[in-house]
Amino acid sequence: MRRREFMAALGGGLLGSYTGGRVAGQDSPPARRHNVLLICVDDLRPELGCAGATYADTPNIDRLAATGVRFTRHYAQVPTCGASRAALLMGRSPARSGIVSGNNGLYQGPAALSREPTAGAQTIPELFRRSGHRTTCIGKISHMPDGRIYAYDGSGSGLPELPHAWDELATPYGPWERGWGCFFAYADGRHREDGQGHQDLMEFAAEDDEDLPDGMDARAAVEKLHEHRRRGEAFFLGFGVYKPHLPFVATHGDWAAMEDRAVPLPPHPERPDSPYWHPSGEFYRYDMPFEKQRPLSPEATLRAKRAYLAAVRYADRQIGKVLDTLDELGLAESTTVVLWGDHGWHLGDSQIWGKHTPFERALLSPLIIRSPGMTQGGVCDALVETLDIYPTLRDLCDPSFPRTEHPLDGESLVPLLRDPSASVRDTATSYWGKAVTVRGETHRAIAQRGEAGFENVELYDVRDTVDPVRNLAGEQPEVAAELLASLPAVG
C-alpha cells in the first residue's frame, strides 16, 4: 500500500470506528485532561550522569531526573525491543500474554491486538485517545519505528501496529523514505537495509542534528507541542528515540566530544559458564574499524563503548529540545513526562555486546517520571517493573479518567512518586524465551521451567555487581527456591 493510500485509509476505514479521539457512541469526556509525554529510548543503559557516570554526557536526562523521580531498580519485562514494548503498552505480563521474546507479538500470534474496537482499551495510547486526548506517535514507541507494520525492505501491510491508538503517525522520513530506513540510518539517507551494504558499526559523519532521523523527529515533536498549545487540546505524545541502538550513529561533534573521553572498561569482562550467555551475533554482524575478534581487545572495547556513549550524547540532546519546548510553552505544569529505556545493554560486560540475556545488565534500564504535584528530585531504590507504567499513568489522571476493562498486571507507582522511600513489590520478574528470572532485594534467580520443575537454575548476588560472576544456586538453593516460588502462574 502506498503512503498516500495508507493515509487515506487511516482517516477512513482503518480508524473510521473512532470519532473525535474516542470510540463512537462513548460518552464525551471532559474537555481538558492531564497531558502525557512518553519518551522511549532504544537500548539505553542506566549509565547516566545523574546516576554517577561522570563520563556520560546526559545533561537533559539529568535535568529531568532533578525535577522528577528516578527509579534506580527498574526492570524490563523482556530484554528485546518488541516484547518489552508490548509489555509497556499493554500493561500485561508475558506470563499472561505469552510474549516472552521476539518483536512481532503486538500484531501476530495469540496475543495479537484486535483490529476491531473492544470494550476496554488495549494499549496506553488507546486509553488516552478514548479519554479525549490527541495522540501522536513520532519515532519508535511500539516495535515498528514509525508505528506501521512493514518489513526491513519496506514490504508489508502498512497497518498501524497498535490498532485504535494513534490519531497521528507523524514520523518524518526525510531521505530515508521509510521507518526502518530512519531506524538504521547512516548519514545522507543510507541505512543498513538499503541494499548497498552499509554495515558500519559506527559513523559520525553528520554535521547537524537534523541531518539524522532522531533530530528530524525532535523537530517534529517540538512542532507538535506548539500545535497542541495553539489548539489548547489535551495530548498524549509518544516520542521514540532510535539511538543509541546499533549502529552507533551521531554527529561528528558527538564523536569529537567522546573520542578521548576517559571511560571505564567493563568491570567483569569474563564469559560466565552459563547456558544463558550468547555470542553477540547482532553486534558482530557489523563492519568494525578495528579487528573483529572475540573478545574484543581492551582498546577496541573502549572505542566501541565511546561510540555508544556518543550516540547517547546525541539522543540526550534531542530529548532536551522537546523538554525545553514543554517549559517554553508553559506546558510542563500540566504534563506528566515518562522517560523509559526499553531494556538494558551489555557493553562488553560478561563478554556480551547487546541485550537478549536474562542477566541483570540486560534487564536494568532507566525510568524517570515527572508529574505535577509529585516529588521533585527524588531517587527511588524500590523494585519496579515496566508493567507498572500503564497503571501509573492511568492513576495520575483525575478520578473521572476512563478505566479500562483490559486486565493490567502491574502496580501503580503513584505511592512512590509521592514518597520515593516507599515500595510496591517484593520482587521483579522478567522473561526471555524459555527462561524466567526473578530479582529480589539482593539476588537474582534464573531458571527454565521443565516437566519436573525448574531446570538450569542460576543464582547471583547482585548487591556489588550487576554482572554474573559466580553462580550460587548450589550453595544457596533455598534462596533460589524462594525467589522462583514467587513467580506468577503461566497462562
Question: Measuring CA to CA, how many Å separate 125 from each of 36, 345, 354, 379, 475?
Answer: 10, 27, 29, 27, 46
The answer to whether 296 and 290 are in contact (CB under 8 A) is yes
pLDDT of 488 reads 80
Q: Rounded to an integer, what distance in angstroms lies between the CA atom of residue 122 and that of residue 109?
A: 16
Q: Give CA angle at 265 (259, 266), nearest 5°.
A: 135
Identify the three-state secondary structure at position 360: helix
Strand order in the sheet with 367-370: 168-169, 134-139, 235-241, 35-41, 335-341, 367-370, 69-75, 378-385
Show me where the domains of the chain are located: 3-426
Is the predicted pLDDT of residue 5 greater than 70, yes or no?
no
Give domain 3-426's CATH superfamily.
Answer: Alkaline Phosphatase, subunit A (3.40.720.10)
Which residue in the list 40, 50, 74, 81 is annotated as catalytic?
A: 81
Active site residue 81: yes
What's the pTM?
0.93
Query: pLDDT class for 10, splitting at 50, 70, 90?
Result: very low
Task: Give the contacts of 101 (CB within 8 A, at least 6 positions apart).
Answer: 78, 80, 83, 431, 432, 433
Exposure letters 159-170 (e unless 16+ CB within 10 A, then b) = bbbbbbbbbebb
Is the predicted pLDDT of residue 233 greater than 80, yes or no?
yes
Task: Report residue 414 as a C-alpha cell.
Answer: 503513584
Task: Give the tens place of pLDDT for each residue, 394-449.
Answer: 999 875 777 778 889 999 999 999 999 999 999 999 999 999 999 999 999 999 99
Q: Rounded to an integer, what distance in angstroms lies between the CA atom of residue 76 and that of residue 387?
A: 8
Active site residue 198: no
The answer to whether 97 and 86 are in contact (CB under 8 A) is yes
Task: Give the tens place of pLDDT for each residue, 296-331.
Answer: 999 999 999 999 999 999 999 999 999 999 999 999
- The region of weakest confidence among 92-96, 217-221, 275-279, 443-447 is 92-96
Which residue in the list 34, 133, 143, 164 is annotated as catalytic?
A: 143
